[in-house]
Amino acid sequence: MLSWFKSNQEEVVPVELSPLDQYIVDMWDGDPLWFMQEVNRRYHTNRIRNVLDIKAYLNGEHEILKREGFIYNGEEYKPKKLVLDYAKNIVNFQTNYLLKMPVTITGKDSVSKKFTKTYKKGKFHRKDLDILSDVINYGDAYEYPYWDKYKKLITSKMIHPENGYPIYNDFSEYVGFIEYFTVEGISYWTVYREDKVEKWTNKGGEIISKSIHPNVGGRLPIHYKSKNDIDRNFGKSEILAWIPIIDTLEELLSKFSDVVFKFCNPVIVISGEFNFEDPIDSSTVGVAIHLQEGSTFEFKQPDVSDAAFKTAYEAVYHALLDISNTPSVIMGNKNLANVAEVTVAMMFQIADIKATLNERMLRDGIEERFEIMRNLMVKNGEQVGEDAYDSLDFVCITDKPKNVKEIVDNLNSAVQSGILSIQSAIEQSPYTKDVQQELDRLDGQVNSNETGNVIKKDGMTIIHKNNSNGVNQDKMGNNLGNNQGGN
């Protein structure tokens, strides 16, 4: 994009503007304090208001709490207000189902080891959990990876959804980012460009520039977002689809409790002739009442259909599980004891579909994070080859209930038959917490002189040593015989 100005020689010289500068010229006529107007656009304020409303809901401010009391039998009655935190439970399940195990970084050893180490030192697994949680809750999450010069490592800053203002031009191109918040009446603006980061504040009553420093990563903050059919620049909160259903469940429970405690209060019905000089005291206990012959005394109360309530509640409850892609067993409605693994897989199929969609959303952002990490590594003198970087990938292992013994036996058989490498088996093993650590330990076992000899048996690598009697034994204690390569 080009702008034009005239030199002293009246020659027209083109000046190329960055995408953000062009946006400032087109939208705000080049105003140097354009960021103040940008954050006050209705487009942004409506979105931020929705985020704050969802935060309030997650903090316990539900619609059911607005029920007002009323007069019943001459006294004020306070209706039941039962709050259900199902939204938090569902978000926690979706987050931990996909990311309970840290993502496994794969690729050539030269690059996978380096990025795994960086991932661990920068605590990026915790940030992955926060990112997925924010996207489910609010539709958007923002992360700014950078080099921490004090800790000497690559880490990242999570920007709160209510403070994030991504800037898109008319062609839906991501051109800039503003982080804006106010503390005790003092406002702070951080403007992110691809080449630099500017910090502004109105502390002291005037808008001043606090600092300007280079953006070493060369990228804008990463914008993670869920699918939105209306606005492709921003995501859509999934909780908004759950809230009306949860409100209905809360209303059913609260009103049914009112029925039990209020409307089911029995009424005394007396038929026939009776003579009471004074009305019966409502607090009377242990007093005998004598009626004339043929008279009756009984309690009457309205019939309450608990079956109708149960049917209505279960119908709405299962609708919530279906819409949120949550297996009913997660909420304790079913027992997995003595259930075949195939049946378990079918029960969690809907959760697997949702996990795939969440992984697809995360993949776009994590791949961009890898690119920023690579830029920062190169800036610090670490070389990352093009071919090695192209092999870089990551794998998410879901937290589905598994028959661990059966999986290990299958992996062992696959390795022995030569159709699977040991590294792939380690990556898929349910016992593996850190793939690279396990590979390093295996390398250490093979290379260490203290472990004895390394032999091949049935296609497997076996590390063995001599016992005190000079008989070779493998590490499981199996006698291999003296004719199989002892020292």
Please state the rounded mean pLDDT for residues 146-154: 93
Please state the rounded mean pLDDT for residues 17-34: 94
For 178-190, how does the pLDDT look when each residue is reduced to its tens digit (9 = 90+)?
A: 999 999 999 999 9
Cα gap 430→424, rounded to integer Å: 12
Q: Write phi, then psi, for 279 (nearest 5 degrees).
A: -60, 150
Side chain identity, residue 37: Q
Q: Is the model more confident about 475 or about 134? A: 134
Where is average pLDDT lowest: 12-21, 179-188, 258-267, 416-425?
258-267
Whether the per-residue pLDDT at 435 is higher than 80: the answer is no
**Alpha-carbon torsion (215, 219, 220, 221), positive or negative:** negative
Whether the per-residue pLDDT at 407 is higher than 70: the answer is yes
Please state the rounded mean pLDDT for residues 213-226: 95
Where is average pLDDT lowest: 39-53, 60-74, 301-315, 446-460?
446-460
Q: How far is CA 408 from the centre of its chain?
A: 29
Q: Could you say which DSSP state residue 451 is in?
A: G
Whether the per-residue pLDDT at 482 is higher than 70: the answer is no
For 220-246, how does the pLDDT look when each residue is reduced to its tens digit (9 = 90+)?
A: 999 999 999 999 999 999 999 999 999
Pairing of strands 460-466, 104-106: unpaired
| Structure-block tokens of residue 102 | 């840290």
Residue 475: per-residue pLDDT: 43
Q: Which band of pLDDT confidence, cut at 50, 70 and 90, is reported for residue 480?
A: very low
Please state the rounded mean pLDDT for residues 380-385: 89
Residue 273: per-residue pLDDT: 67
Residue 457: per-residue pLDDT: 43
| Structure-block tokens of residue 353 | 């579909």
For the ranges 74-78, 374-378, 435-439, the one whose mean pLDDT is highest: 374-378
3-state secondary structure of 122: coil
Residue 11: per-residue pLDDT: 59
Q: How many helices (H) and strands (E) does the chain have?
A: 14, 19
Q: Which band of pLDDT confidence, cut at 50, 70 and 90, is reported for residue 150?
A: very high
| Structure-block tokens of residue 16 | 């190329």
Cα gap 426→439, rounded to integer Å: 8
Residue 30: per-residue pLDDT: 93
Q: Which band of pLDDT confidence, cut at 50, 70 and 90, is reported for residue 338?
A: low
Residue 235: per-residue pLDDT: 96
Contact call for residues 179 and 189 (beta carbons, < 8 A): yes
Cα gap 15→33, rounded to integer Å: 21
Residue 36: per-residue pLDDT: 96
| Structure-block tokens of residue 103 | 């993502």
Cα gap 459→416, rounded to integer Å: 5
Whether the per-residue pLDDT at 278 is higher than 70: the answer is no
Residue 282: per-residue pLDDT: 66
User: The whole model's pTM is what?
Assistant: 0.79
- What average pLDDT does the structure give for the chain? 84
**Alpha-carbon torsion (12, 14, 15, 19), positive or negative:** positive
Please state the rounded mean pLDDT for residues 365-387: 93
For 66-105, how does the pLDDT look when each residue is reduced to its tens digit (9 = 90+)?
A: 998 888 777 888 888 999 999 999 999 999 999 998 898 9
Q: How far is CA 465 from CA 143, 234, 452, in A?
A: 51, 61, 4
Residue 13: per-residue pLDDT: 55
Where is average pLDDT lowest: 100-114, 246-260, 462-476?
462-476
Contact call for residues 244 and 252 (beta carbons, < 8 A): no
Q: Is the model more confident about 465 or about 173? A: 173
Residue 267: per-residue pLDDT: 73
Please state the rounded mean pLDDT for residues 274-286: 65
Residue 339: per-residue pLDDT: 61
Residue 458: per-residue pLDDT: 46
Pairing of strands 186-192, 196-201: antiparallel
Side chain identity, residue 415: V
Percent share of the chain, pLDDT over 70: 81
Beta-carbon contacts of residue 291 (< 8 Å; ≥ 6 apart): 270, 272, 274, 297
Please state the rounded mean pLDDT for residues 13-28: 87
Residue owning tokens 């076992």: 445
Please state the rounded mean pLDDT for residues 254-269: 77
Whether the per-residue pLDDT at 485 is higher than 60: the answer is no
Residue 443: per-residue pLDDT: 78
